[in-house]
Structure 1
Amino acid sequence: MSPSLWSRAATVAVLALAGLQFPQHAAAGGSVSSPTPNTCAGKFAYESAELTDAVLADIGAQDPASAPLLGFGDDPDSGSATRPPSGPACKVFPGDAAWPSTQLWNLFNTSLGGALIKTVPLAAPCYNNWPQRNAAECQYVTDHWADPHLHANDPASTQWPLFQGRTCLPTDDPTKNCTLGGYASYSVAVTKVSQIQLALNFARNTNIRLVVKNTGHDFADKSIGAGALSIWTHKLKDLRFFSDYRCKSYKGPAFQLGAGVETEEVYRAAELNGVTAVGGECRTVGIAGGYVAGGGHSPMTTLVGMGADQVISLQVVLPNGKFVTASEDSYPDLFWALRGGGGSTYGVVTSVVIKAYPKIPVTTMTFAFLNGPNVTLDTFWAGVGAYMSYFDRFTAAGAYGYFLVVGIGPGQYLFNFMPFWGGNMTAPQLTTLVSPFLTDLANLGIEVTPNITEYASFYRAFNGSFGPEQVGASVGHAGSRLFPRDNFAVPAKRNATLAAVRYAIEAGGVLVGYNIRPAANPAANQANAVNPAWRNSTGFFILGGPSLPATATDAEIAAAAKTLTTDWMKRWRDVSPGSGAYMSEGDINEPDFQQAFYGSYYQRLYALKKKYDPTGLFYAPTAVGSEDWYITGQIPYYPTQNGKLCRKP
């Protein structure tokens, strides 16, 4: 097959088998608020509706029975973190005697102003055992299941339902049974901070599992949990632009973003205001939530650093229910941890202020090559290795590479740029940068026809290159690895890395790769909890596991996941000792996740977890402190969130 015949549709199909994604083009649109005066950001209107001790005292006076359920927890400096855990070993679960009664849930809903939602799975209209059964609605859900917006706009659904347990997927057989599985039992559709405070207090005081969801974009399905109360922040869409933000040590353009603002929305706002913002490559990533909490990589990273590096301040509801500002001089330890230390750990972020940068041009390049009659398999891999040899040079120049390596048929493999991204580059500048690489490919006998496109702004390049990702795969599973600069700059290490990659791809894996290194940026605050492995890496590779049919059994899924973790990814770990992985796009089965996702910062992060959340209100798979808990009934290598959450003895 000629590379020119390789379509995006074919790429989508291949990636879908591995539970991965490929962007489809989407049109721009939307609006943004007018620039505001030069000043420190105040609270959004929804953040002014705050629960205080005085308000709780009034509630308690009117309804004394509510006080034990809605009251605040201990202050972080009260010494409670040094006390041993007490109380039940497991979180209360539906069917337990201590599970809140329907009357109590109704009273809680009243305190929230009617914001409580009892979970109905998205695919419930496909099943006779739900009163929502409706053939037309079932068809709509089925047709749009791969659209991330469908799941982001639902209070409970997740973009990757594998670890939900696959208990309520779209079906054309309505006689099957649909259950909640790993979905939360209830969600709070948050429109003001007081609702978050009430929800945290209620969950802590009733010992109910708590989860936090914005869009549900995470490889480990961190936003789900059976029997949980979910904080759904997706409706917090407020956005402000400051043309000349002057607060604390920062002077320059900035955005204040509500917790529900997504990548595509902040990029559109930046375009309308003549600046550039740092956000994800996928459109539905929630910037203020898991993106910043995980560190956040971006097409802008090679120019200005990680997403977490851009944060000036955050508003956050602590596990004790109190609402605070985290910045360089207010809760500085929390400010450090919230920028890269993982989501669902230290509180619920309600808004964030981030830096913006001048508007820049972008030039992109795409091309693909295959092995075949004129390109042997060894030559194909030599071409991939040739690209790797330029990783250091390309990232030093501010370029960003996004590419795919995958088997497309028996003995045939594809390399595809999706694209090579030249931030702040013209077409002549990009051409000069890549010419030696293209010469190397030609010398190998690999013929390519680069398609080079200039864009006047980041947003236009983003729209021309990326789009709504394809989600919803019920069997796909992936891991990731951060490869240090020397893995590509030192020939012997590059050869070992290429061999480990080749082994996995020829065994059936799918590589979605990034040639990326966070730029050192004196204008950004890079003293944060971002995994130190990011700072010296020039390669971030995601590996999709063995292909499985949608009908795969739990045992088959577990076996494939074990192969990914203990064979394919082990070889990647072996050639990059001491490095790590990206927690938001990582393997839920990652061995020693503490070192892999958090590096040398883990013990400090764990101590802060104990300080701010001594009762263990917040839990998520592979989050800081998650090793203190377990889920009942899990299958090794297929850890669904369907059981009780219990503290380890």
Structure 2
Amino acid sequence: MLLPVHYLTSYLTAVVLLGSVVTAKSYCQPTQPCWPSVKQWKALNASTNHRLIQVTPLARPCYLNITSDECGLVQSIYYDAAGRTDSPGASFWTNYETCGNKDCVMDLLVPGLVVGPGSCELGRLSPYALVASSPKDISAAILFAKRYNIKVVIKNTGHDLQGRSSAPGSLLIWTHEMKHKKYYPRFDACGAYNQPAIAIGAGVQGLEAYTFADSVGVTIPGGHCPTVGLAGGWFSGGGYGFMTPLYGLGVDNVLQVTLVTADGVTRVLNSCSPDRELFWAIRGGGGGTWGVVTEVVFKVYPQQALISFDFEYTVSADATSANATSLLKDFITTLAAMQPRMMALNGSASAVLSNYQVAGGYVIPGKNLSAIPKAFSPLTSFFARWNGLLTGNHTITPLEKFIDILPIASKWDSELSGVSARMSSRLIPKSLFNSTNSISKLADAILEGYALNIPPGSPQSQVPLLASLPIFIVMEGPYNHQDNSETAIHSAWRDMYWFVYYQNGWTKNLAELAPIVSSAVSVAADPLRALTPGFGTYFNEADVDEKDWKSAFFGENYDRLLKVKKKYDLYFILMILMG
């Protein structure tokens, strides 16, 4: 079983009200008499200008003929995030394509099984998808699902790390082809803003948005991963990125949202629209539940010169376990001690660390190269202290504009997709960075979580692919942007310095590790949860088994969000787990 039973069955007898157990809703399934006939599906197809398709799992050609040219093409993109986003029959992680023992998954990383055993089945993939091109199409699909009591899921890229964009027996609204982009030299929705902006369709991905913004001489805030869709779950869950310290979270930069709600009505949301409460909710209350977004208008900024400080070091194989732990603690405490200074510089950073490596990079706005050596002297001193166990280099690079950071960041911010995986995470409050004692406790908690995720001698520690999985530290909070409750984002974001997360996974050849790995990665965040009681985590990158999820994901906003949900989707046509 790839996920706990409650997680899988919640899509068949759905537990709703923002994921709470207040109301249970049963959806119609393909094996039941309530399921629409072929004639009724054809009618929906005709009403949407023939935009309805039957979903085919990405790996199906290989189940049919492993030596075919079509299978060769699938294999070439199977672990490529960009390739997977172009298919409605794929998710970023393959456990969200799997339901029990039903799937259509491949394994190219571990020698042995490539496809099978068993036949190619949809698993958690939808049997039908609407390839959305307009709000009218989307409205027709939503009303059809409402009439026949079919669960609706929404997907652009399938990059959802909690699997909220897939569900068995659902109707998928696939927004991936809504790629329109428009630059406004002056955007004024209701008199509150009269500055440059860019409108992007729901299918526009990060690199596409950055390239378009660059072509008109501006910068649009966005995330790290070039394949993530900016006008979907990224912004509605909060949305962090390289420019977050300078410009705020994704929710801080949304001027207007156009979406189709569960009643089939297209609504334009902004700070002076009649649906202001929905505008508040969708900015931080999470994606997939408020409506199907078709367009978002973002603030944009003048192109900004940057300085990159990136580093990549390998830990010597001769390092003992104790030495490696001491090295990693020194590394974490060094980064933590630097954090207030980085905040003052509007600097952002990401780091990955394990018993095998320390790598990452900083991005500092500006052109003052002369200030960089002093700002990073604690880190260069760390590299010097551990010269006997570390091999690698660090590089300082001046950059003319934001888009130039992407090739550099890809070295330490790569995307591994096409495998089954789970994660857990925690936001870290700035109060833990006030003293050497609190920083030491933070470092200990992070390393304790690392040991819990991949315990020495555990089955996963014997698999090189899993044993080398690192700790991830994201150091780019919206420290300098307080929103005064204008958005629904968890208030912990306004008081955090770091976001720490752990990942673990398995392949089809290692499916027996699924329950072990799932449990391990879930408890890995426990030391940080204990260190930060009452704080929270990032809704988009979190544990699907987060026990205190209302507080961790939504904080004090949960009750207000629930009222908005009841107003706009009383019958829960749009429902996701814990959101």
Describe the SS at the equivalent of 2:567: helix
Q: Secondary structure at the match of 1:584?
A: coil
**Deviation (angstroms), 1:273:** 1.3
Aligned mates of 2:445, 2:272 — CA distance in 1: 45
Q: Is the 8 A contact 1:162 1:473 kept in 2?
A: no
In the TM superposition, what are the counterparts of 1:319-398 in structure 2 within 5 Å?
A: 319-330=262-273, 331-372=275-316, 376-377=323-324, 378-398=326-346
Question: Which residue identity lines up with residue 474 of structure 2 in the other structure?
Answer: Y
Match of 1:515 among 475, 496, 507: 475
Tell me the equivalent position of 1:558: 515
Match of 2:42 in 1: 106
| Per-residue deviation, residues 504-553 of structure 1 (Å, max 9, x unmatched) | 3345252121112204348x8971011211111111112113x6454223
* Whole-Å separation in 1 of the counterparts to 2:301 and 2:420: 40
Determine the structure 2 residue equivalent to 1:17. Answer: none
How far did 1:89 drift? 4.7
Mapped contact 1:145–1:471 kept (Cα < 8 A):
no
Counterpart check, 1:481 vs 2:435: no
Partner of 1:189: 131
Residue 462 of structure 2 corresponds to none
TM-score by length of 1: 0.77
Aligned partners of 1:366, 1:192: CA distance in 2, in Å? Answer: 42
Could you tell me which residue of structure 1 aligns to residue 536 of structure 2?
580
* Residue identity opposite 2:309 in structure 1: M
Deviation digits for residues 187-239 of structure 1 (CA, Å, limit 9, x no counterpart): 00011110000011111111001100111111111110100001111111110
Say if 2:240 and 2:477, in contact at 8 Å, map to a contact too. Answer: no
- Report sequence identity in percent: 27
Q: Match of 1:73? A: none
1:371 Cα deviation after fit: 4.8
SS in 1 for 2:517: helix
* Cα distance in structure 2, aligned partners of 1:353 and 1:232: 20
CA contact (8 A) 2:535 2:552 kept: yes
Alignment coverage as a number of residue pairs: 527
Please list the CA deviations of residues 331-375 of structure 1 after superposition, one character each: whole Å capped at 9, or x if unmatched.
Answer: 110110111110111111110111001111111112234555699
Structure 1 partner of 2:15: none
With over 3 angstroms needed to count, the CA separation of the structure-2 counterparts of 1:115 and 1:338, relative to structure 1, is same
| Corresponding residue SS for 2:449 | helix
**Aligned mate of 2:236, from 293, 304, 307:** 293
Structure 2 residue corresponding to 1:460, chosen from 404, 425, 433: 404
Partner Cα separation in structure 1 for residue 566 and residue 380 of structure 2: 53
Q: 1:438 to 1:489 in 2, by over 3 A?
A: farther
What is the match of residue 612 of structure 1? 568
After superposition, the Cα gap between the structure-2 partners of 1:162 and 1:104, relative to the gap in structure 1 and judged at 3 Å, is same
| Contact persistence 2:328–2:353 (CA under 8 A) | no
What is the CA–CA distance in structure 2 between the aligned matches of 1:230 and 1:183, rounded to whole Å?
9
d(CA) in 1 for partners of 2:319, 2:55: 56
Which stretches in structure 1 are left out of the alignment for 5+ residues? 1-80, 409-413, 624-649
Matches of 2:244 and 2:434 in 1, distance apart? 20
The 10-residue stretch of structure 1 (354-363 or 433-442) with the greater mean CA deviation from structure 2: 433-442
Aligned to 1:275: 218
**Secondary structure of 2:501's match?**
strand
For residues 321 and 140 of structure 1, the distance between their equivalents in structure 2, rounded to whole angstroms, comes to 38
Deviation at 1:473, TM superposition (A): 3.8
Aligned partner of 1:44 in structure 2 is: none
Q: Give the structure with higher Rg (CA).
A: 1
Query: Would you say the 8 A contact 1:383–1:444 is kept in 2?
Result: no
Paired amino acid for 1:115: R
Amino acid at match of 2:542: G
Q: Distance in 2 between matches of 1:113 and 1:536?
A: 48
Report the CA distance between 1:415 and its aligned residue.
Answer: 1.2
User: Is the 8 Å Cα contact of residues 301 and 517 (structure 1) preserved in structure 2?
Assistant: yes
Partner of 1:36: none
**Aligned with 2:268: secondary structure?**
strand
Counterpart residue type for residue 353 of structure 2: V
Whether contact under 8 Å (1:501, 1:572) holds in the other structure is: yes
CA–CA distance in structure 2, aligned partners of residues 251 and 519 of structure 1 = 25
Give the Cα–Cα distance (whole angstroms) in 1 for the partners of residues 319 and 126 of structure 2: 54
Map 1:120-159 → 2, pairs under 5 A? 120-128=56-64, 135-159=68-92
Q: SS at the partner of 2:421?
A: coil
CA contact (8 A) 2:262 2:569 kept: yes
1:149-228 equivalent positions in 2, closer than 5 A: 149-165=82-98, 167-170=103-106, 172-173=114-115, 176-228=118-170
Q: CA 1:371/1:108 → structure 2, altered by over 3 Å: closer, same or farther?
A: closer
Q: Distance in 2 between matches of 1:346 and 1:161?
A: 26
Q: Match for 1:234: what amino acid?
A: H
CA drift at 1:124: 0.8
Indicate conservation of the 8 Å contact 1:361/1:423, yes or no. Answer: yes
Distance 2:577 2:174 in 1: 18
Q: Deviations over 1:246-269 (max 9, x none)?
A: 342112111011111111011111
Q: Could you tell me how far apart the structure 2 residues matched to 1:397 and 1:466 are?
A: 23
Instruction: Label 1:489 to 1:438 Cα distance change in 2 as closer, same or farther (>3 A).
Output: farther
Task: Tell me the amino acid that sits aligned with residue 354 of structure 2.
Answer: V
Structure 2 CA distance for partners of 1:444 and 1:489, relative to 1, 3 Å = farther
Distance 1:261 1:526 in 2: 28
Pick which of 500-509 and 383-392 moved more: 500-509
Q: 1:258 to 1:374 in 2, by over 3 A?
A: closer
Q: Give the direction of change, closer, same or farther, for the CA distance of 1:431–1:151 in structure 2 (3 Å limit).
A: same
Q: Which residue of 2 aligns with 1:527?
A: 486
Equivalent residue in structure 2 for 1:245, among 177, 187, 211: 187
Structure 2: gaps (5+ residues): 1-17, 108-113, 455-468
Paired residue type of 2:553: F
Deviation of residue 271 (structure 1)? 1.1
Superposed, 1:311-326 pairs within 5 Å as 311-326=254-269
Deviation for aligned residue 1:494: 1.5
Q: Do the aligned residues in 1 keep the contact of 2:80 with 2:418 (CA within 8 Å)?
A: no
Asked if structure 2 preserves the Cα contact closer than 8 Å seen for 1:339 and 1:530, the reply is: yes
Q: Which among 354, 358, 366 is matched to residue 406 of structure 1?
A: 354
Change in CA separation of 1:456 and 1:125 when aligned onto 2, cut-off 3 Å: same
**Distance (Å, rounded) in 1 between the aligned partners of 2:115 and 2:44:** 37
